[in-house]
Amino acid sequence: MKVLLVFLFSISAWGKIKVVTTTTNLRSLVEFVGGDQVEVVSLAKGTQDPHYLEAKPSYVLKVSKADLLVQIGLGLEDAWLPLIIRGARRPDLRPGEKRHLFAHRGVELLEVLKAGEVTRKDGDVHPEGNPHFLLDPVRASFVAGEISKKLAELDPSHQKYYLSNAQKFSERTKDLASKKIKVKKVISYHKTLNYFYNRFGVENIAYLEPKPGVPPSAGHLIKLIGIIKQQKPEKVIVENYFDPSPADRLKKESPKLEIRSVPVAVDADKSVGDILKLYQQLIKEIGE
């Protein structure tokens, strides 16, 4: 019975391009662009921080069957993806090859550092640029365009379909990007939302992490309380895969502060099944 199901399933997937993405945000973009011509899986779940995945052999299995691998790049997946690609024994999926796509290529990046400006004492930094660019709808629509070109290259018979899907997606992101956000000053846990803030004119005045990747310490929280008194931010935004309890401690000191735990990835909670819903949710949670 099981064999039969597997068999039927593989028939239904016949002819579709099998895409593996590293994050659910990328998966959602590929779904918008590829429509019914693609079958997409993401290695990271929406509830997982993609910095900290492990090189699980089940990922190797997924990648070994892929027609296309899409990753963010900028060091985000460095701790695990190289082993997965090598373990899958698929030379055609290596960076630079036809069936591999770096989503960051061509994107206007923030926080790019020159060599020598940063060392490991500065925590988990990405000197080539902040890798969370998909949280800006405008940059995401650029990436959707790049994905459509790549899909068209692999499957030229549906070129028009992919390009028009990317176009449709781009129009929907324009609507979202023109929305106004009332909140102007926030504190965040990690540098995840900087592209979103940049697009919507929100100022992030401090982070709960003393340094990227380093959990909040008591001393750092005391410093933050001082900053809050001086600069009066309206909200503390915690990406929902982080522990919200340090933010609650800030709220004890300044009760006016609003704490919001927000999804930053598709599938991070039930309400955000695709990336457009994710933007709507973020605009609502951060902006109102």
Partner 1 sequence: MYRLIIMLVLTSHIAYSQDKRLYQNKGNKFNPSIGVNSLFLFKNDSVPTTDEGFSIQEMELQFVSDVDSNFMVNALIAIRKEAGEFIIEPEEAFLETTSIKDITFRVGKFRMALGKHNQLHTHAYPFVDAPLTQASFLGDEGLQEVGGSLAYLVPLPWYTEVRVQAVQGENEDLFNPGGGKNTNNYAYLGRLVNFLEVTDHSTLELSFSGLTGRNDNDPLVNPEDTHLLGADLTYKWKPSKNQSFLWSTEYLQRQKETLESGIFSYIQYQIAPRWYLGARYDKLGITEDDGTDISRGSFVATFASSEFAAIRAQYNYVDDKSQEINHQVMVQFNMSIGAHPAHRY
DSSP annotation of 193 reads G
CB of 86 to partner 1, least distance (A): 7
Binding footprint of partner 1, residue count (CB under 8 A): 36
For residues 64 and 204, which CB has a smaller minimum distance to partner 1 in the complex? Answer: 64
DSSP E strands, 72-191: 100-102, 185-188
Chosen residue from 16, 18, 56, 168 binding partner 1 by CB under 8 A: 56
Q: How far is Cα 40 from Cα 16, in angstroms, rounded to an integer? A: 10
Locate 281 and state its tokens. Answer: 């949710």
- For partner 1, which residue of 83, 110, 227, 259 counts as binding (CB under 8 A)? 83
Map the footprint of partner 1 across residues 94-123, applying CB under 8 A.
94, 120, 123
54 belongs to the binding site for partner 1 (CB under 8 A):
yes
**Position 52 contacts partner 1 (CB under 8 A):** yes
Q: What is the DSSP string of 192-254?
A: GGHHHHHHHT-EEEEESSSSTTSPP-HHHHHHHHHHHHHH--SEEEEETTS--HHHHHHHHH-
Neighbour count for residue 256 (Cβ, 10 Å): 9
Which of residues 88, 183, 206, 247 is near partner 1 by CB under 8 A?
88
Cβ proximity to partner 1: between 80 and 207 the closer is 80
235 - beta bridge partners?
A: 186, 258
Longest dimension (CA), the chain: 67
Binding pattern for the stretch 214-253 against partner 1, x by CB under 8 A and - elsewhere: xx-------------------------x-x----------
Chain residues binding partner 1 by CB under 8 A are: 6, 45, 47-49, 52, 54-58, 60-61, 64, 78-83, 86-92, 94, 120, 123-124, 213-215, 241, 243
